Chains A and B, each alone.
Chain A
């Protein structure tokens, strides 16, 4: 008990809740970006214009194959330092935005692939019927194909989001120092005697965040499945 209360006092110096909030907010922002970019990429992938299809294939393959750490290093050292791309006067804000962009782009390739598997569950007759009543390619994709593809790919999208939650710790690479992995590392350095408890605290935090996402995605994918 004594040991636990000492650990408690020690951890009070670290804003663990805030650290988790940083990762959750990175997940929300990067997840939204990934969904938007992934949807655009998959729409290009199925479009009748061959150059758009090629561009999308290239984009998805590049960002799926490069390690996330490399993407984040590129964001920090090339985009920010070399190209001087800046979004604000505050470099903390810049780091955060760079992390969101890097995470968003990287995960958009997985979202695009998840959506493509969802599109494969939509019979071609659906798009043909949509074109048959005079909808344009974009209308038919937006109103008929993608809504069904989303419902057919909730499980793989959920998996991508779960990977994203954990991958937000790589934001430390672009200099987001308030997030969990940086906080954990700082805590371990200052209190090596608590290393096991520190580790357990952060691991538990992630489990608490990830489990509901998994449960939600499983139940949504069942509830929203398109009946044919």
Chain B
């Protein structure tokens, strides 16, 4: 049984011991700006980690280093035990295994939703067209937008576009899904339709790193909450513990701000 299928069969809320993503002493600068300061983070199979923290604290950068959309200065990042390759085909192969969902959806604007979802499997995995399309339609059905398959991204609502983007990532059978504020660009009434899809993924055992301020999602689906501030991981704990008894002043400040607005 392959690791990918294994993930789906895990019982609800059970977390494996096998590390899917490991960051060890990761440092990252943008010029003089120290954005990731000695980050250590291990995410196990089936685990859902929510990353939370003030704007500019390095959450997006952390996500982006994991599939090497941003290179790191020093330290190690491993996916399923293997070091991230530098460039070229090996890196492309790794990225195919790690799904990424962006705040701004980033669906390919000139392609139909169906083509968006089949592109990766067809080009990166050489899946035949009809097989890729059948699976894409099943995925679109699963996220509730099968009837939008022939449309262009701009014809869909934000919530539908983000669900299409999730389907596009899932089509690669990723071992890990990265979500960078997937609901921040959405109108309030569309947030839940996206969160529901993410919760169901989490319940099925998908390994996920989710940058979000949606505490409801964290409480429903997260195994662990990681609090970042100024490039540092300041706190880690269960959602319950973090939200009710944050340890650091910065976490307390931050929670006070997001609760009272």
Contacts and interface: CB of A to CB of B under 8 A. Distances in A.
Contact of B92 (A123, A126, A136, A226): A136
A123 B125 CA distance: 25
Contacts of B32: none
A130 B107 CA distance: 9
Given A128-B102, A228-B154, A133 B120 contact: yes
Contacts of A228: 109, 154
B96 interface: yes
Contacts of A212: none
A143 B118 CA distance: 13
A226 B110 contact: yes
Nearest to A128: B69
Contacts of A144: 108
A135 B120 contact: yes
A134 B109 contact: no
Contacts, number: 76
Contact of B109 (A128, A133, A135, A148): A148
Contact of B169 (A123, A133, A139): A133
Interface of A is mostly: helix
B80 interface: no
Interface string B220-254: 00000000000000000000000000000000000
Interface string A139-161: 10001100110010000000000
B83 interface: no
Given A128-B69, A128-B102, A134 B108 contact: no
Contacts of B98: 132
B104 A136 contact: no
A134 to B, nearest CB: 3
Interface in B81-99: 87-89, 92-99
A129 B92 contact: no
Indicate the size class of the contact surface on chain B: 20 to 34
B110 A135 contact: no
B106 A133 contact: no
Nearest to B172: A133
A136 B106 contact: no
A176 to B, nearest CB: 39
A48 interface: yes
B152 A227 contact: yes
A132 B119 contact: no
B137 interface: no
Given A125-B106, A144-B108, A228-B109, A132 B124 contact: no
Interface in B50-69: 67, 69
B95 A143 contact: no
Interface in B129-175: 152, 154, 165, 168-169, 171-172
B123 interface: yes
Given A131-B95, A134-B95, A227-B154, A151 B110 contact: yes
B48 interface: no
A13 to B, nearest CB: 52
Interface of B: 67, 69, 87-89, 92-100, 102, 104, 106-110, 119-120, 123-125, 152, 154, 165, 168-169, 171-172
Interface of A: 48, 123, 125-126, 128-136, 139, 143-144, 147-148, 151, 226-228
